[in-house]
Amino acid sequence: MQDLEVIFRTAHRQLRPRTPVPEIQVEFYPFAGLNHTARLHQSRLLIRLSDVFTDAPVEVCYSLALILLAKLYRKKIDNVYHRRYRTFILSEEIQERARIARNSRCRGAQATASLGRHLDLSVLFDCLNERYFAGSLDKPRLSWSAKKSRHVLGRYDATHHTIFISRIFDTMAIPPYVVEYVMFHEMLHVKHASRVHDSRILVHTPEFKRDERNFCKYQEARLWLKTI
């Protein structure tokens, strides 16, 4: 822990060479994943790092220190530090550790029944699975969202293998092809796993985007969703 405090003091001097270094306290915390926080309170800098990072290399910890402090102080840093951090966290070992942490510590959103007032997500999934995937997709849990969200219309939770669809679509007033498209989009997340490219996670891969255009009313659905 002493080494981490030295790393953060060094990073602080690099970012703010003319400013006295505050008292720094660094601790590992059992976050549900790769989360980290930096908070300045009464001239004390309080740092919490994910315990997934307990044996991270010095150069990665230094990059993370610069990233956290740059965000705290609204400073810019060389992109090399971001690339070094992302390369480390996207390694198979760290991703597996993060997955285990999420599964053991995060309860996730509470899934409800697939049957809504007007639509049954289970029936919708089965129809789309046969039409576009030849019935090959493994059926996840299906749930309406707790609220009528206009910002998150659909979401696939890979950790809990669950598709959530916003309750805003549980109505007969919206054209059926619109909610079909939203469900189809989330089903593509089941089919196409995210992958790492250029130190970044690609959620919508080229294969995902190609398959998405196979939806029969792709353009119409996207245009309609812009009105929400």
Better pLDDT: 41 or 105:
41
Q: Where do we find the tokens 């891969």? A: 205
With 0.85 as the threshold, say if the pTM is over it: no
User: How large is the C-alpha radius of gyration of the chain?
Assistant: 22
Task: Compute CA 197 distance to the chain's CA centroid, rounded to the nearest angstrom.
Answer: 16
End-to-end CA distance of the chain: 49
d(CA 141, CA 112): 9
- The yes-or-no verdict on residue 198 having pLDDT over 70 is no
Q: In the β-sheet with 162-165, what is the strand arrangement from edge to edge?
A: 141-144, 162-165, 154-157
Query: Distance (Å, rounded) from C-alpha 206 to C-alpha 128?
Result: 21
The C-alpha atoms of residue 217 and residue 66 are separated, in whole angstroms, by 46
The whole-angstrom separation of Cα 88 and Cα 90 is 6
pLDDT at 160: 83
Q: Give the whole-angstrom CA distance, residue 105 versus residue 200.
A: 25
User: Which domains does the chain show, CATH number per domain?
Assistant: 2-105 (3.30.2010), 121-225 (3.30.2010.10)
pLDDT digits (tens, 9 = 90+) for 158-197: 878 999 999 999 999 999 999 999 999 999 999 998 776 6
Looking at the chain, the whole-number percentage of residues with pLDDT higher than 70 is 93
Residue for token pair 């995060």: 106
pLDDT at 18 over 70: yes
Mean pLDDT over all residues of the chain? 90
